[in-house]
Structures are given as C-alpha cells and as structure tokens.
Structure 1
Amino acid sequence: MSISPPLLARHRGHEPRTFPVTDQLSTRWQRIEAFGVHEDGRLFRSSRGDVISIGTYCKVWKAARVFALTPEQQISPLAARPYDLRHAAVFLWLNAGVAAPDVAERAGHGVDALLKVYAKCIDGGAEIANRRIEDALVA
C-alpha cells in the first residue's frame, strides 16, 4: 500500500512524498482519517488549533517516558527526545533486514547519509552476511 499524506510526508517545508506503509500503520491511518488533522497537516494541535508549544511537548514526553520505561531506562538516554523515535525506527528497519535504499526512502535520507549515520547500528550483520554468502555459493 502506498499513501501520500502530508502529515506523514512533509518534513521542514519539503514537498510531500509518497512512501510505502505497513498494514499496521495503515490501520492507524484510519484513526487519522476519522479524527482529521489541522489544515496545515499537523496531527497534534492545541484545543484552539494552534501549534503546540515545545514546553507542552516536553512535559508530555517526560510523562510518557515515566509511563513506558522502567526506572533504569528512565535515567538512561533511551528515548530522551521525541526525535529519538525517528532514530529508533531507522535502527529497527535496518536490523530487520530492510534494504538500505528502502530505509533511506522511508526516512527521507539519501543512502549515503543513511549509511554514514546508521550503519554502526546493524546488529549481527556479519553472521547474516556470511549465511547469505554461503547460500549464494551453494546455489
């Protein structure tokens, strides 16, 4: 499935782009369709429709960390900022074996920038690579 929702695709004034989504995200998209977004594409807004202040985001983020993380995780840098979710998504996709060009497209990066920043996060890559090379040689 491929969608082009401005609220998901717009990044700092760039043109919206089309990107593939999973069935799980597609299901969540239905909630967005039901409740709508602001006319400028923002999903979250104040009760008056204004931009949510950074102070409000930080307050909610801190409360969410307390709710979702163990006490040990709370004192760690894990998910210290909302932007860390983007990094976590890219790490997840790469470690799940999604090809770098696909991850780069979803994240809005060039492949070279993606690999420069995120290549160090791939866990167990040597074992997977060795298995794939062995399989290719056997074939």
Structure 2
Amino acid sequence: MIIAIGVDIVEISRIQRAMEKSPRFLERILRSSEIKRLMDKGLPVSSAAGYFAAKEAVSKVLGTGIGKIAWHEIEICHDDAGAPGVTLFGSARQIADRKGIDQILVSISHDRCSAIATALGQKMDTRG
C-alpha cells in the first residue's frame, strides 16, 4: 500500500556552485559511503545532484523536509544491478516506522541541466 510520495528537482549548476564554494559541501549532505561511490565514478556533479534530489524527495515522503531530519539519516544506495535504493537511520527511520512505511523506493534521473528524483513510501503487504 502506498503511504506517501515525494519528488524533487535541482539544477545541476546549483550543486556545482555549492561544491566549488565549499569543499565540505558533499560531506555535509552525503554519508561517507555515498561519497566513496561518487568518487569511484569520477565524482560526476550530475550524480551528486541526483543524490541531493533523492534525499529531498525522501524527506517529503517522511513529511518532514530536510531540517527535522538530517541529511546523513538518509542514505542513497544501489543494488547489484545499479538500481538506487534508500536506507534510513535515526529519526528518519523512527518517523518512517510511525507512518507505517516499510520501504522507500526511489528513482533518479538527470539531463544536462537538472536532476530529478521521485520517492515512494509503502507498507508491504504482510498477508500471505
């Protein structure tokens, strides 16, 4: 059952400027595992923007926005086929539990100018 959806779009140039302005920008919004994944890919700004949009979309699924939860409480991960997924920590996990959200699905895309992400919070059907 779908509990909530969230979407976010960000201009890639905005993330580029933030990265140039503050060398610690990525450390502020990404977990070390996410930074490592981006570094392994050559640190494409479009991917960093995609992670940013995905975290914003997930925060909308939780109904909080970033602020009531921390950037590091949301991790964008990938399965063996490269499909993105989400792992929650701390208060983000607690909020999801209270809302009955068992799983958050995420889709991330980008073009030359923008990155967009959609997140869907769902309760898994536990009936056999």
Same fold (TM over 0.5): no
Structure that is richer in strand per residue: 2
Q: TM-score band (shorter)?
A: under 0.3
Rg bigger for which structure?
1
